[in-house]
Amino acid sequence: QKVEWAVLKNEATVSADGQAVEIGANIGTPKDIAGVLDNGGEAIGLYRTEFLYMGRDQFPTEDEQVEAYAAVLKGMQGKPTVVRTLDIGGDKELSYLDLPKELNPFLGLRAIRLCLEMPDMFRTQLRALLRASVHGNLKIMFPMIATLDEFREAKALLLEEKAKLQAEGAEVSESIEVGIMVEIPSTAVMADTFAKEVDFFSIGTNDLIQYTMAADRMNESVSYLYQPFNPAILRLVKMVIDASHLEGKWTGMCGEMAGDEIAIPILLGLGLDEFSMSASSILKARSQISKLSKAEMAQHTDRILALSNSQEVEDYVTKLSAK
Ligand code: PEP
Ligand code: MG
């Protein structure tokens, strides 16, 4: 099997009926790029920049950040590279950032909420991204967006920093797409409205499942509720993909679900444009997609979304795949 996958390394990802999708990788540091290219990654679908801020005793400087972002963009040689702005809080803490203890950290001041609360810190990251943008195909993504106002506020800060940099004579790419993670149900439900203003969506199922099912993704005692195949999740995913396509935008997925063998046929049928996963899963997923007909899977989606629970969905797809 490994041999069969290896020949796909330099191939595009195309379904059995000739429909192209993109498989990207999730990374945490510039060092991960080698593994992405080695495994035939067509893109970076998620660069989690928080690791740049972790394991140290002060914020990374603007120049340090430029270096890391430029390294990733250069390493990807012009391939699409989605960089997510800082997603700290929740389960991820910074020793040098003394945040008040919260009763429900996952529902608290994290990610974009914290960045908008600490605009100086956020502006530094945005400037570093803009300065690095000339080195590749940068797409900027904001995490944990719950309302359109948050997106507008974040994007306004980005445009302000861009104007400042240009006034200083710095070069900034003019083709940076600006998108959001869809990992909060309110945003999935309002996707049609968001789609008019964002350039793309990336569905973060790790959080979307926890918030939709109200089940902490780290809590073993409620892990039975952590159900990627619950039709509630699939219906939200469909809403997001359909909304983006109506506005001529694209939707990716960067949660664990994107690399799941049972999820892939469903997501292909729903019209997902980009699958982002750990590098080691890419070739297997490309091979699986090459054997699936997107049109045929699309014919099953209405029936799959009308099923009544997670188990029925899994059984349905397993039976299809066995044919
Ligand atoms: C997600 O929530 O699905 C996601 C990709 O982000 P993280 O796992 O970093 O929260
Ligand atoms: Mg998340």
138-193 tens-digit pLDDT: 999 999 999 999 999 999 999 999 999 999 999 999 999 999 999 999 999 999 99
User: Ligand 1 atom closest to Cα of 183?
Assistant: 2
pLDDT of residue 119: 98
pLDDT of residue 90: 77
ipTM: 0.99
pLDDT of residue 304: 98
SS3 273: coil
Q: What does the pLDDT look like over 311-320, one tens digit per residue?
A: 999 999 999 9
Q: Whose CA is nearest to atom 7 of ligand 1?
A: 206
Q: What does the pLDDT look like over 233-275, one tens digit per residue?
A: 999 999 999 999 999 999 999 999 999 999 999 999 999 999 9
Percent of the chain with pLDDT over 70: 100
Split at pLDDT 50, 70, 90, the class of 199 is very high
Cβ atoms of 76 and 40 within 8 Å: the answer is: no
Residue 255 Cβ contacting ligand 1 at under 6 Å: yes
208 Cα–ligand 1 center, Å: 8
Model-level pTM? 0.97
pLDDT of residue 92: 83
Residue 254 Cβ contacting ligand 1 at under 6 Å: yes
Contact partners, residue 255, CB within 8 Å, separation at least 6: 183, 203, 204, 205, 206, 207, 208, 209
Of the residues 87, 180, 187, which should be mutated to test ligand 1's pocket, given the most ligand atoms within 8 Å of the CB? 87
Which among 131, 160, 132, 129 is positioned nearest to 142, based on CA atoms? 129
Residue 276 Cβ contacting ligand 1 at under 6 Å: no
pLDDT of residue 160: 98
DSSP assignment letter at 47 = E
Rounded to an integer, what distance in angstroms lies between the CA atom of residue 243 and that of residue 103? 35
Rounded to an integer, what distance in angstroms lies between the CA atom of residue 162 and that of residue 61? 18
SS3 242: helix
Contact partners, residue 18, CB within 8 Å, separation at least 6: none
